[in-house]
Amino acid sequence: MPVVEELIRAEADGSISFGNYKLEAKAKKDNFEHEGDLYKVKTFYEITKLERNGLFVYESVPGTSVEHFTVSDSKVEFLVEGSQDAQITLQLEEDCEYEVFVDDAAVGSMKTNMSGKLMAGVELNEGMAVKVKVIRK
């Protein structure tokens, strides 16, 4: 899976792809319009962060590249790649329980906190994308 050279892009399937963990210096793209929403991405080797309409959506430490990121009322799904294991934080519905899958294997049930954030560690190897799916129970 290649990095997203343009920092953020719309995909033919309606999803978005974003992030470039190979950048040495911080880069950002603001006011990217997709399906009526405005996105902002900040990315480099230390962190990748995505906001939609000024609100937090995704963050990884260290930085990652994300492809085919989709969000619905009941699930978030995407492919992620990085140079090393990453801690991923997603903004979801507050005080709800979710099942997390990595490469279609269930890794456990997690509950969001009062602010709706869910954190998951993902083992990554450069050049290999990992599928992440988070489904509300």
What is the model's pLDDT at position 4?
Answer: 85
What is the model's pLDDT at position 70?
Answer: 97
What is the model's pLDDT at position 5?
Answer: 87
As given in the structure block, the two tokens for residue 78 are: 């995407």
CB 27 within 8 A of CB 20: yes
- 3-state DSSP of the chain: CCCCCCCEEECCCCCEEECCCCCCCCEEEEEEEECCEEEEEEEECCEEEEEECCEEEEEEECCCEEEEEEECCCEEEEEEECCCCEEEEEECCCCCEEEEEECCEEEEEEECCCCCEEEEEECCECCECEEEEEEEC
What is the model's pLDDT at position 102?
Answer: 96
Q: Which amino acid, 124?
A: L
Fold for 8-136, please state it. Answer: Chondroitinase Ac; Chain A, domain 3 (2.60.220)
What is the model's pLDDT at position 28?
Answer: 97
What is the model's pLDDT at position 1?
Answer: 63
Residues of the chain with pLDDT under 70: 1-2
